[in-house]
């Protein structure tokens, strides 16, 4: 086996974590995820009116739309579909969808580039996001048709929010529900070592990364690592430990950029390792 130091300045995925059932607040969080995490697909056209109307809802997350005249928007009078997303829960959520626009009964944006008409939003607890004619929030104000007398109409006939996904914003939730934040460094290290052993034992017997328990345990490990690194960053005035804390590159690739930067800048405290045969 060979251990080598590696650069680790690559952008990594945002910390994602949902928890086990044992702690009370973790039960509540998991229930919340199961209740209003959902994905919808299809091409059901919605034809908005000049008044706000509810066209999609799911356990406290409401989607409204209306057709609005927008004078001199982008230099021309036009009509826009305005979207309103209402989060009536006490948890932050993430929303993602693809806009399907139907002109003369045919979808003009279906099958376009994967990200061209796909939009993402973070909606805080009890927050409402509303589109307007100024199109300040892309994806909440959709072009429908021209209103200029001398400009040919495009024949807007409806819209759909396809591939609609709504999930809890776990990053925000964890800021206030981190079960490791009050642990001392020594206890955190023991917890990390225990989680690593559980993961290694599971990988030897199963190896299925899609297993729910495996994903939960992996996310708990990353959260514990993130907490340890933050504590280390706030305690640099203390004398460095005589033992380097070892972080495998497989774990490093799941840390946030700020944590990776801290690790790279303090080789006297952390060792990044890659194991090769």
Domains along the sequence of the chain with CATH: 2-19+179-276 (no CATH), 34-169 (2.60.40)
In this prediction, residue 169 carries a pLDDT of 73
In this prediction, residue 34 carries a pLDDT of 35
Q: Where are the beta strands (DSSP E) in the chain?
A: 2-4, 38-40, 53-58, 61-73, 76-87, 93-103, 106-107, 118-123, 128-130, 141-146, 156-168, 245-248, 270-276
Tell me how many degrees the CA angle 65-68-70 measures, rounded to the nearest 5.
140
> Is residue 166 within 8 Å of 115, Cβ to Cβ?
no
> Is residue 200 within 8 Å of 160, Cβ to Cβ?
no
Which regions of the chain are under pLDDT 50? 1-38, 41-42, 237, 277
219-246 b/e with 16+ CB inside 10 Å = b? bbbbbbbbbbbbebbeeeeeeeeeeebe
> Is residue 45 within 8 Å of 158, Cβ to Cβ?
yes
In this prediction, residue 31 carries a pLDDT of 39
pTM (two decimals):
0.52
Tell me how many degrees the CA angle 126-143-132 measures, rounded to the nearest 5.
35
Q: Which residues contact 251 (CB under 8 A, 6 or more apart)?
A: 221, 222, 225
In this prediction, residue 33 carries a pLDDT of 42
CA dist., res. 29 & res. 15, Å (int):
16
pLDDT in tens, 40-83: 544 578 999 999 999 998 778 999 999 999 887 556 788 999 99
Q: Which residues pair with 81 in a beta bridge?
A: 67, 142
In this prediction, residue 35 carries a pLDDT of 39
Q: Which residues contact 229 (CB under 8 A, 6 or more apart)?
A: 255, 259, 262, 263
């Amino acid at each position: 086996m060979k251990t080598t130091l590696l650069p680790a300045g690559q952008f990594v995925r945002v910390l994602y974590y949902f928890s086990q059932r044992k702690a009370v607040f973790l039960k509540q969080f998991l229930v919340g995820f199961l209740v209003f995490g959902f994905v919808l697909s299809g091409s059901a056209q919605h034809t908005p009116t000049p008044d706000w109307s509810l066209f999609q809802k799911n356990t406290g997350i409401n989607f409204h739309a209306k057709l609005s005249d927008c004078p001199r928007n982008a230099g021309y009078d036009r009509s826009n579909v305005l979207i309103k997303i209402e989060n009536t829960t006490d948890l932050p959520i993430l929303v993602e969808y693809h806009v399907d626009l139907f002109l003369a009964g045919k979808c003009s944006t279906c099958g376009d580039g994967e990200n061209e008409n796909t939009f993402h939003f973070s909606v805080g607890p009890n927050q409402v996001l509303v589109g307007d004619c100024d199109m300040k929030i892309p994806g909440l104000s959709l072009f429908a048709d021209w209103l200029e007398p001398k400009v040919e109409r495009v024949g807007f006939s409806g819209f759909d929010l396809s591939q609609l996904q709504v999930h809890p914003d776990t990053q925000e939730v964890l800021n206030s529900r981190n079960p490791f934040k009050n642990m001392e460094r020594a206890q955190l290290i023991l917890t990390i070592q225990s989680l690593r052993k559980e993961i290694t034992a599971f990988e030897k017997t199963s190896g299925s990364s899609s297993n729910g328990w495996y994903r939960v345990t992996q996310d708990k490990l990353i959260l514990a690592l993130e907490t340890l690194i933050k504590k280390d960053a706030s305690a640099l005035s203390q004398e460095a430990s005589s033992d380097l804390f070892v972080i495998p590159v497989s774990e490093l690739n799941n840390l946030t950029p700020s944590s990776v930067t801290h690790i790279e800048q303090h080789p006297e405290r952390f060792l990044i390792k890659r194991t090769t045969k």
